[in-house]
Chains A and B, each alone.
Chain A
Amino acid sequence: MTSLHNESVLPPACASRALDSISVSLLYTHSAHNHADMSYTEELVAALGKEKVLLDPSELFVYGADWSPRTPDEFVPPDVVVLPRTTRDIQRIVKIAYMHEVPVTAGGGLTGMLGGAVPIYGGIYVDTTTMNSIVEVDQRNQTVRVQAGATLQEVNDAVHPYDLWLPHQPESKWVSTVGAAIACDNDSTFGVRYGKILNCLLSAEIVTGTGEILELGHRKAHFTSSGYKLKDLLAGSEGTLGIITEATLKLEPISASRKVDMLVFPRMGAAVDYLSRLLKAGLCLEAAHINCKRRLKFYTHSYKLKYGRDPEIPVWAEALLAIAFAGDPEVVDTQRAYALKLAKDFEAQLVEEREIVEAWWSSKYTLDFEPFKQKWPDSQKQKKFGAADPGVPVGRLEEFYHKFIETAEKKNLEIIGMNAYLEHPNSIGFSLSCAVFVDYRNPDEVKRFREFHDELSKLAVAFEGTMSTFMSDTYQKAPYLEVEHGASLKYMREVKRIFDPKGILNPGKKFPRGANKK
């Protein structure tokens, strides 16, 4: 089997599996003397009951992959899948894993696009989606306490009757779980007003790598000046510090109305300048996304189905900005009118064809596709979606966009386009999705995709930005995390060691496996 990854980030699947099998069997032998001749899988069955433990190869196969482009040869199913129902179940699982030094990878909807929850070293896969209870809705204090396996949509379904909502809304919200949203630190359509999941997260319960149950955070208070903010470490932690089991989230009142518009600009930089002007004017945007011309096609699937063609935008237009305002109708109308008035100063033109805006919005938020015509499978019949997720400073977006195109072309990858989401409350903080199509069955193309991803990630740091804004580091960025973090990386390793001294939690993510073991 060949290692397809440059610099061997992702271990050659079979080789590593073979080594792991040896080490695991040695551990079994070792543990046999101490644990009444029970293997770790037998201990799991004894601790949880056989209905919560899956061992059949066909079942394991289902849990081994997410949305990330990996070749079939790199596919490594877990050795066992567990279906916990409670925090205590997870504690039992981790304690057994700790005793046997077996990898434990927790996952949710498995919609990650960079392999964050993929158990690349096998071991135990913890399917947290079995823990999806809504523990408490506190209407007065506008909070909800949930088990971490609840999907973001399930949370919203539960709080909607109270006229409240959780504004963290990625496109995967029907499947993405609260725990995965925190651990992956994924994106949100409404970031410019509400931020991302960390802005909603008040407190979280985790099980550490030793099996200790900890509550991190500040209960229902919105912020604290006390102690170190350990809760914040969970955002983007990828399950490497602990398995998130419950969370208390801040909710927002549901606005009475919302209006979404799209404007075209001759340059990306003009769209950025316009956004800056809107914020200076004191307008309160609810959503703001800049799409390059190419990327629009990816988000207007329902338009194409309806009219049999891609939407037409002016030839001179290079960037499309989608903006939303929400609130009382009069406030929305006033803000919208003012925003559209300002657009004239930025060579912008309003997209009058509402079907284009609605097609984009259904793809981005409502997900109300025509029955039997959802966009994702149709858009990926030949190749898979692959992306780099860097962040760059406000003034360098356009420059970086050209670098993205240049890099994708150099690597001979089919370009989907770039989307810049504003993900920080009331500021122009970009999360970039630089997307290409990848034929995951073609090892050479997967290799070129990874080179593309790595080049853009490192380039973003050179641009005084960051390597990751919504997919985290996973195995992909683990070998070169020092590029971003420099000397501080050793402190991160120490943090990891405190929470997970044996390095059993999602090994290979953020740091190469074994980098943090004592």
Chain B
Amino acid sequence: MSGLEEFKEELETCFGTSCGFCERGCPVYQTMKVKTLCMKGRNRTMLGLLQGKFEITPAVVQAAFECTLCGNCDRWCSLKNTEHTRAFREYLLKHGVEPMKEHSSILLSIKNYGNPWFQPRSARNRWARGLGLPKAAPGQQDVLFFAGCTSAVTKQLNRGLVASAKLLQKAGVRFAIMGQDEPCCGSTLLRVGQTDAFQELSAENIKKFEALGIKKVVTACPGCYTTLKKTLEESGSTIKVEHVSQEIAGLVKQGKLKLKRSSERMTYHDPCHLGRLGGVFDEPRDIVKAVANLVEMPNNRYESRCCGAGAGLQSAFPKLSRDLASKRVAEAKATGATTIVTSCPFCETQLRTVPGIKVMDLLELLMDATEAAEKTNGQQNAKSG
């Protein structure tokens, strides 16, 4: 993982270019209108710091952390901007900056509980109760369903996990779960600049996965998806990583699920980690199109706007985070959609904070359509019987 100094050439390229194409899609800059908070400005701040033009000040720390790492700037550039920002955070922490107090508590929770939500490890078992899902054991399964901490320990998000597991079963995927032994993927650590802790955790995670003898990890959370994918690929592991929507979309396309389709207008919000950073755009849309009338927001796919929850912004800058969510919801409402469908627990929770539109998990939507079809089918059978 590159340190900030290794990006100096890129920072100088940005300084020399000054095109500012990153400004237009940056949700933070478009809300705050302070150039230190867009990537062009942030790159300059990093360069100035490395050149010794100024010391680390609260404004420098703000420039580093007031960003969701959503990658919209990268879409309009050929530089690795989100990597710069991650390295910037790491640099500051290694140069005596204390973690932001909101992040400190998250880090403490990850250390003690293996999740950032101060929930006991056993809370990860909750969602799977009664489903009879096998627990991962060495050599017993090829596929691991990685639930992720946020959906597992948050009651309102459990339904999406249950739907994912049931649909995987319908798809004939033989998988196991880790329950309370499921580790933290490290996404939060990585994104708030705790690189050493992240690398330590990742090394442990790789060992655990290899010990289980799995061939594939299927994640429910896009943050887990990009983090584990990067970790495993960089380690040279042959274990593949997929998001659950990728596993299930094939089933939908092949017509293997009976679905009750509605004409309801729904829009799909691309989670940054799954879409722009993960390159998964079509599969979630295939699922929505199979059950409802998909209408796109103007900013979609690579140009999708962040919900404002990511990279520690929600905890450290709650007002800004809410403003970003409001903007995204306003964009969704303007399409005439009744529902925002998404496939990320952070986006789902965040978008739900803004009233006026229904927010739904992608797999939960599909499961509901499946159950509705089964119910209708059952009623028809009963009538004909």
For A151, list chain B residues within 8 Å (CB): 24
Complex CA gap A367/B75 in Å reads 12
Complex CA gap A39/B272 in Å reads 45
Complex CA gap A130/B21 in Å reads 17
CB-CB under 8 A for A129 and B33, given A57-B54, A61-B45? yes
From the candidates B15, B16, B24, B58, name the one contacting A175 in the complex (CB within 8 A).
B24
Please encode chain B, from 34 to 52, with 1 for each CB lying within 8 Å of some chain A CB and 0 for all others: 1110000100110011010
Q: Count the A residues whose beta carbon is within 8 Å of the partner chain — how many?
A: 41
Contact across chains for A374 and B77 when beta carbons are under 8 A apart:
yes
Complex CA gap A54/B37 in Å reads 13
Complex CA gap A377/B24 in Å reads 16
Complex CA gap A110/B16 in Å reads 12
Interface of A is mostly: loop
Residue of B with least CB distance to A383: B16
Please encode chain A, from 78 to 119, with 1 for each CB lying within 8 Å of some chain B CB and 0 for all others: 000001000000000000000000000000011100000000
Complex CA gap A380/B18 in Å reads 10
Q: Is B79 an interface residue (CB 8 A)?
A: yes
For A338, list chain B residues within 8 Å (CB): none
Interface centre among A57, A127, A367 (most CB of B within 10 A): A57
Contact across chains for A83 and B34 when beta carbons are under 8 A apart:
yes
Q: Is B262 an interface residue (CB 8 A)?
A: no
For A380, list chain B residues within 8 Å (CB): 13, 16-17
Q: Is A189 an interface residue (CB 8 A)?
A: no
A-B contact count (CB 8 A): 110
For A54, list chain B residues within 8 Å (CB): 34, 36, 59
Complex CA gap A67/B75 in Å reads 21
Q: How far is the CB of A166 from chain B (nearest CB, A)?
A: 16
Contact across chains for A153 and B18 when beta carbons are under 8 A apart:
no
For B21, list chain A residues within 8 Å (CB): 174-175, 367, 374, 376
Q: Is B302 an interface residue (CB 8 A)?
A: yes
Residue of B with least CB distance to A176: B20
Q: How far is the CB of A66 from chain B (nearest CB, A)?
A: 6
Q: Is A7 an interface residue (CB 8 A)?
A: no
Contact across chains for B78 and A62 when beta carbons are under 8 A apart:
no
Q: Is A339 an interface residue (CB 8 A)?
A: no
Q: Is A460 an interface residue (CB 8 A)?
A: no
From the candidates B44, B74, B75, B276, name the one contacting A65 in the complex (CB within 8 A).
B44
Q: How far is the CB of B181 from chain A (nearest CB, A)?
A: 37
Contact across chains for A373 and B16 when beta carbons are under 8 A apart:
no
A 25-61 contacts with B by CB, 8 A: 54, 56-59, 61
Contact across chains for B18 and A110 when beta carbons are under 8 A apart:
yes
Q: Is B14 an interface residue (CB 8 A)?
A: yes
Can you name 25 A-B residue pairings with CB atoms under 8 Å?
A56-B54, A56-B57, A58-B48, A59-B34, A61-B48, A62-B44, A65-B18, A67-B17, A67-B18, A110-B18, A110-B35, A111-B18, A130-B33, A153-B24, A172-B20, A175-B20, A367-B21, A371-B276, A372-B75, A374-B77, A374-B78, A377-B78, A381-B9, A381-B13, A440-B16
Binding site for A on B (CB under 8 A): 9, 12-21, 23-24, 33-36, 41, 44-45, 48-49, 51, 53-55, 57-60, 63, 74-79, 276, 302
- Besides the known contacts A58-B49, A62-B44, A174-B23, 13 further A-B residue pairs in the complex with CB atoms under 8 A apart: A54-B36, A56-B60, A58-B48, A109-B23, A130-B33, A175-B20, A175-B23, A374-B21, A374-B76, A376-B21, A377-B77, A377-B79, A380-B16
